[in-house]
Structure 1
């Protein structure tokens, strides 16, 4: 930019501060294409680059009365577009982080719901299997689930502790084929 161009631009900026539409139009016409190319290099998207340029000039017009430009006007415009780009990039990062966290939450929620449903189904299957067992075996199993010791079970049922252990062993074998995973979970 030559000295005469720099002086002319300074004059246009003074007129812009006073609200001169023609000065704004001249500044826009002078710098639009350069600013658009800069924005396009940042975002690699024609529409987004055009939006950045438009927003930069709207900002200039809205803040015209309080504008303080130390360096060249084009450098000021470049900084304005760069800030818009950085804000957009930060916004996308926040959205991406939110989406990741939300997806993790959904995945966890699905796991919890799936696990609860699976446990309910397994519990119902266990109840069905216990109903098929001889009454004494089922009773010993249910008492064992309540953390009652073999000695106490033997006393309650009026049988020996060895009989309780044998019946429990037979029960676990019968249930083990169907509920190996559940039995390990319950009695591990």
Structure 2
């Protein structure tokens, strides 16, 4: 087959199947732009490899297999991204829930009463022994 016949056959194949293949891909991807990209890539791969294909190869089946695999890989990748997003969201929710629990358990009176007592004790330690004893006795 000469190159002119190759081009004519390719154009006929393209004109007959391009829209069908896009419809097939959109059915799985729900994204027309990605579907068009995959179909165009599949036709390009077919064109570039046509000389290396066995004579029994059915061009439209070959192209559809490429589109199928591209769609399958895209959907699997989307599923992985969704799982990662879910895990990140779950982790984020866990962190927020931990913050809520920590804040709810926080007792400012307890925190500051302990700090205040430590400050009083440190100040008392600096006082002369007699003054400290008088202060302690006055608090009992």
Pick the TM interval, shorter chain: 0.5 to 0.7
Map 1:76-95 → 2, pairs under 5 A: 76-95=62-81
SS at match of 2:100: helix
1:153 corresponding residue in structure 2: none
Contact 1:43 1:85 survives alignment (8 Å): yes
Equivalent of residue 36 in structure 2, options 50, 72, 76? 50
Matched-pair contact (CA < 8 Å) for 1:69–1:76:
no
Residue 22 of structure 2, aligned match among 36, 40, 65: 36
CA distance in 2, matches of 1:97, 1:125: 43
Tell me the CA shift for residue 99 of structure 1: 0.5
Distance 1:128 1:42 in 2: 61
- Aligned partner of 2:109 in structure 1 is 125
Give me the whole-angstrom Cα distance separating, in 2, the residues matched to 1:128 and 1:34. 73
Unaligned runs of 5+ in 1: 1-10, 136-188
Q: What is the root-mean-square deviation of aligned Cα atoms in Å?
A: 3.3
Distance 1:24 1:79 in 2: 17
The corresponding residue for 1:103 is 89
Cα distance in structure 2, aligned partners of 1:67 and 1:26: 19
TM-score by length of 1: 0.48
Tell me if structure 1 keeps the 8 A contact 2:29–2:75: no
* Separation of aligned partners in 2, 1:51 and 1:94: 21
Work out whether residues 56 and 81 of structure 1, in 8 Å CA contact, stay in contact via their aligned partners in 2. yes
Distance, in Å, in 2 between the alignment partners of 1:69 and 1:39 is: 26
TM-score by length of 2: 0.61
Kept after mapping to 2: 8 A contact 1:52/1:81: yes
Deviation string, structure 1 residues 168-187 (Cα, Å, up to 9, x no partner): xxxxxxxxxxxxxxxxxxxx
